[in-house]
């Protein structure tokens, strides 16, 4: 389910609970929503609302941190590719074939990370090898002629190994790290909160507009959290343009 679909379902469920609360108020005796009962209801709602706000804040902070960490890995990947190409350039003409292979492997590497985009484009994903394996094997086969080339070969192998480790770190991240059960429980809390809000106050246009805007904001929070959990898909995905332009 996409983030926008989940947010829409959350909005419908919460607005339905608010409408249900307004309808329930018309059937409740006034003593049930006034006096001491109203005070107890306010305290209960304050408790649930505090828990909901805290959970939403923690979810946003967690997904935001994960998104920024992934962005950092992509930036590191781009920098390593550029550095590897520079090291091979300093190595000399013997490394030109490796530089060409490195350029040829960038697009398969991008496709392996941004898989949804590659599939939508109709690209064929090669699962038989990691994108940097061929370059690493070619680096190991180099025959340095002097100490300078030997040092450059060692550095190039280290960078290529770092590239593979960064890619594995990106692949190891789950595409959906937020439990649906967790989100459903949070939606139930919000349904309870807004249902009680509607039940404890006489219905009027101003109240309906304010509650509707609050529900829309809560649904937008679900959308934002789920979008941040998809760094390589959706409307807020990380751009692969820096990686494409790394060797230009």
Q: What pLDDT, in 10s, does the model give residues 157-200?
A: 999 989 888 888 887 765 556 777 888 889 999 999 998 888 87
Domain assignment present for residue 246? The answer is no
What confidence score (pLDDT) does residue 111 get? Answer: 83
Question: What rounded mean pLDDT belongs to the chain?
Answer: 83
247 within a domain of the structure (yes/no) = no
Residue 222 lies in a domain: yes
Tens of pLDDT along 15-25?
999 888 888 87
Q: In the predicted model, is pLDDT for residue 11 greater than 90?
A: yes
Q: Residues 95-117, buried b or exposed e (16+ Cβ, 10 A)? A: beebbebbeebbebbbbbbbbee
- Examine residue 198 and state whether it is found in any structural domain, yes or no: yes
CB 229 within 8 A of CB 183: no
Q: Is residue 231 part of a domain?
A: yes
Range of the domain at 208: 3-237
Lowest mean pLDDT among 145-149, 203-207, 210-214: 203-207
Q: Is residue 244 part of a domain?
A: no
Q: How far apart are CA 187 and CA 9, in angstroms?
A: 10
pLDDT band at 121, cuts 50/70/90?
confident
pLDDT of 126: 61
Number of Cβ atoms within 10 Å of the Cβ of 73:
19
Span of 33-37, 71-75, 101-105, 208-212 with lowest mean pLDDT: 33-37
CA angle 157, 162, 167 (to 5 degrees): 130
Of the pLDDT bands very low, low, confident and very high (cuts 50, 70, 90), residue 239 is confident
Q: Among residues 239, 245, 240, 231, which one has the least CA distance to residue 81?
A: 245
pLDDT above 70 (res 132): no
Q: Give domain status of residue 46, yes or no.
A: yes
Domain count across the chain:
1
Indicate whether 245 belongs to any domain: no
């Amino acid at each position: 389910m996409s983030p926008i679909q989940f947010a829409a379902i959350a909005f419908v469920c919460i607005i339905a609970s608010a409408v249900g609360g307004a309808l329930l108020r018309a059937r409740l005796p006034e003593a049930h929503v006034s006096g001491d009962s109203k005070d107890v209801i306010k305290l209960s709602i304050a408790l649930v609302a505090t828990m909901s706000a805290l959970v939403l804040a923690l979810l946003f902070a967690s997904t935001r941190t994960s998104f920024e960490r992934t962005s950092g890995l992509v930036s590191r990947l781009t920098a390593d590719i550029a550095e590897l190409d520079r090291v091979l350039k300093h190595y000399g003409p013997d490394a030109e074939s490796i530089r060409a292979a490195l350029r040829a492997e960038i697009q398969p590497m991008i496709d392996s990370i941004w898989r949804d985009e590659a599939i939508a484009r109709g690209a064929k994903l090669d699962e038989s090898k990691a994108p940097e394996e061929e370059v690493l094997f070619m680096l190991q086969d180099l025959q340095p002629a002097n100490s300078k080339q030997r040092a450059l070969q060692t550095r190039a192998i280290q960078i290529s190994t770092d590239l593979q480790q960064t890619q594995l770190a990106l692949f190891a991240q789950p595409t959906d790290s937020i439990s649906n059960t967790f989100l459903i429980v949070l939606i139930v809390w919000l349904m309870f909160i807004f249902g009680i809000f509607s039940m404890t106050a006489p219905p009027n246009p101003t109240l309906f507009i304010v509650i509707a805007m609050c529900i829309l904001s809560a649904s937008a929070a679900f959308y934002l959290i789920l979008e941040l959990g998809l760094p390589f898909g959706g409307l807020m995905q990380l751009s692969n343009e820096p990686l494409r332009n790394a060797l230009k």
